[in-house]
Structure 1
Amino acid sequence: MSKVRYAVLGFAVVLLVLFFCIGSDDDLLSPEHTGIVVDVNEGDNGFTFILETRDSDIRCFSSDIPMELGYYGVIGDFSKDGRIFFVEQLIYLD
């Protein structure tokens, strides 16, 4: 009987480890802004684009290239003057 108990316990541990390994961090993140990406341009250090949200258009800078007309969420901070949003995490939501 104890062999069965250890087998079940081992199987449960394997399932738990797989759950954490397979689960993406992006699924746990809550984007600050979401919208459609338009007007993607490449610069010296990354990419600028406009994120068209429900309420406004946000000019963004990211080191990752977004797909034109893709639906994304962004996490990051606005510049001191509020003109551009520096993207720390670009999350593809389509």
Structure 2
Amino acid sequence: MVASRAARGVGPVRIRAELAAVQIDDAAIERALAETETDWKALAEAVRAKRFGVEQPEDFPAKAKQMRFLQRRGFDMDMLNAAFDD
């Protein structure tokens, strides 16, 4: 499930929450996330580029909008920062 959700552009935070919602053990969740060979930072950048284009946002409101989008998709702050090459 982790690989299929990652392939759809969902980040590890959201995947972890979805698995916990169906009462999967925390250790099993962490093991599944660790076994997945997903580069989460690259995935966050690809999801951002697919939704908003490859151009970096010009102003703060546009960047904030894109960051909120990625947070809703389940990416943490380290991954968000990697998606924006300032």
Q: Point out the structure with the larger helix share.
A: 2
Q: Structure 1 length normalisation: TM-score?
A: 0.22
Kindly name which structure, 1 or 2, has the bigger radius of gyration based on alpha carbons: 1
